[in-house]
Amino acid sequence: MNDFQDKLAVVFGGARDIGGAIAIELARRGAQVALSYHGSNPDEVVAAITTHGQKPYTQKVDALDMAAVRAFATSSAEQAGKKIAVLVNVVGGLVARKRMEEMDDAFWDHVMTLNTKSIFAITQAALPLMIDGSAIVNVSSQAGRDGGGAGGIAYAASKGALMSMTRGLAKELGSRRIRVNAVCPGLIATKFHDEFTKPEVRQRVAGMTPLGREGRAEEVANLVVYLASDAASFVNGANVDINGGLLFS
């Protein structure tokens, strides 16, 4: 299972939930992990990674600060003393549920900067530091396909943009054998939904899902790590759904 042995994996947003599960799974498979955090304490994820014999590099990064985002890519490679083999972009958020008439320019720009521009910035900074044959995996959302839930227009638009960015990058970077894919999670049991989704809505959506439940962060992590691995060597430009069968694309 050590398919990432001695490889540097950078997880942009790896302190909790899906990002944390991804960082831990990469470490379990032998990767040297660098992760960013901001509003969440990374100690639990760091402790879990340590049990796999790795000591992760952590850096507090405000995803709205493009200079800080770019610096994280550079410092990760410098601290590891090697180039980046895997970049996983998890950072993103709903920020708040607002209908069209409730949004102002500042809110729209905030969501787009957090969910799309930050991914542009770290990817641009990381590319000169990546080895040929490496992989980028973006975490988009089912909202990017179906428009999201009530008050989620800005979030859905930003995640749809990320899906298109994934396809464009896959074409552009193919000559370097850098594969770019994305995952599009549906209802996953995370703090995101604890904060923004009412329990009765979660129960209803889980009931509509063919598998009859919410997904787990570890299940998303397994898919991300597969896409980053050599086992997915001919998968490029894909936006892969993981939603228990609720939505087919």
Q: Is 155 a catalytic residue?
A: yes
**Cβ-proximal residues to 164 (8 Å cutoff; 6+ apart), any chain:** none
Q: In which residue are the tokens 């200079």 written?
A: 67
**Cβ-proximal residues to 63 (8 Å cutoff; 6+ apart), any chain:** 12, 13, 36, 38, 69, 91, 113, 114, 118
How far apart are alpha carbons 78 and 60 in whole angstroms? 16
Helix intervals (H) in 35-152: 43-50, 66-80, 105-112, 118-126, 143-146
User: Which of 37, 57, 155, 226 is an active site residue?
Assistant: 155
Cα angle vertex 152, ends 157, 106, to 5°?
Answer: 75
Could you tell me which of 238, 196, 193, 239 has the C-alpha nearest to residue 214? 193
Cα atoms in the 13 Å half-sphere on the side-chain side of 113? 13
Angle between helical axes of 66-80 and 118-126 (0-180°, round to 10)? 30
What's CA 49's distance to the chain center, in Å? 18
Q: In which residue are the tokens 């996953």 written?
A: 188
**Cβ-proximal residues to 231 (8 Å cutoff; 6+ apart), any chain:** 3
* Residues with catalytic function: 155
